[in-house]
Amino acid sequence: MADSWLHRLGLRAPRGGLQSQETNPALESGQSLVAGAAPDVATSALDAGPEGFWEFSLEVYARLGVAPACLRLQDRDRLDVNLVLFALWAGAARGVLSPVSLSRAIELSERWRDEVVGPLRTARRALKAPDVPVEVSGASTLRSRVKSAELAAEKLQQFMLAPLAEDGDPPPGRAAAEANLAAYLGAAGLTVGAAKAAETAADAVTVLEAVFGPEG
């Protein structure tokens, strides 16, 4: 999209050599597909509603470089990875999200993050710290249970988000997905002039290209 700050920066993320600093619960659970698969958008993932969104997310997250890029967007920029994936899936499946739908998606996700996913994530990370003041095997067991709960909470979030894509403005495809992603980043206050804009754009493009492949 010519008006997208992602497009205007003209950035492409570095290829290869990226390793996740922390594994996504979805990957640890064995539910994802093989990392490094050739970029494509599975038709079933686009047509199957909420379940398709979840399958799409697992597949994209498993691809090379996506997990560390998403973690940086989450931890550095305080973005919601589920909203990043929703912007791409909605664009690929339905088209450009209306401002009302995007606003509802952000509001829903912020509340869910603050009240459900965030506390679970904090607990999971705390239980991985080297100075956990409990018996080691007990901490590991509890962390596994919290991780499962966090994964379930993220899946519920996606099931709540998916219906908001139904009013997407066709045609669906790469341009719509990039427009949705740029709109979300803009709503989050990330602009060309923002600090670390280049790093943010590079990580966002990594996820975009995991879905559609390199442009041109």
Say what the pLDDT of residue 94 is.
92
Say what the pLDDT of residue 21 is.
36
The upper half-sphere exposure of residue 74, i.e. CA atoms within 13 Å in the direction of its Cβ, equals: 21
- DSSP letter, residue 38: P
Q: Which two tokens stand for residue 63?
A: 């691809």
Residue 96 three-state SS: strand
Residue 169 three-state SS: strand
96 beta partners: 169
Amino acid at 197: A
Instruction: Encode the chain (216 residues) as per-residue pLDDT tens digits.
Output: 334 445 544 433 333 323 333 444 333 333 333 333 345 555 555 665 888 999 999 999 999 999 999 999 999 999 999 999 999 999 999 999 999 999 999 999 999 999 999 999 999 988 876 666 666 667 788 889 999 999 999 999 999 999 999 888 999 999 999 999 999 998 998 765 555 678 888 899 999 999 998 876
Residues written for the chain: 216
Say what the pLDDT of residue 31 is.
32
C-beta separation of 78 from 89 below 8 A: no
Say what the pLDDT of residue 141 is.
85
Q: 71-88, pLDDT tens digit by residue?
A: 999 999 999 999 999 999
Quick one: which of 87, 119, 105, 103 has its CA closest to 157?
105
Say what the pLDDT of residue 34 is.
30
Q: Which two tokens stand for residue 98?
A: 């209306």
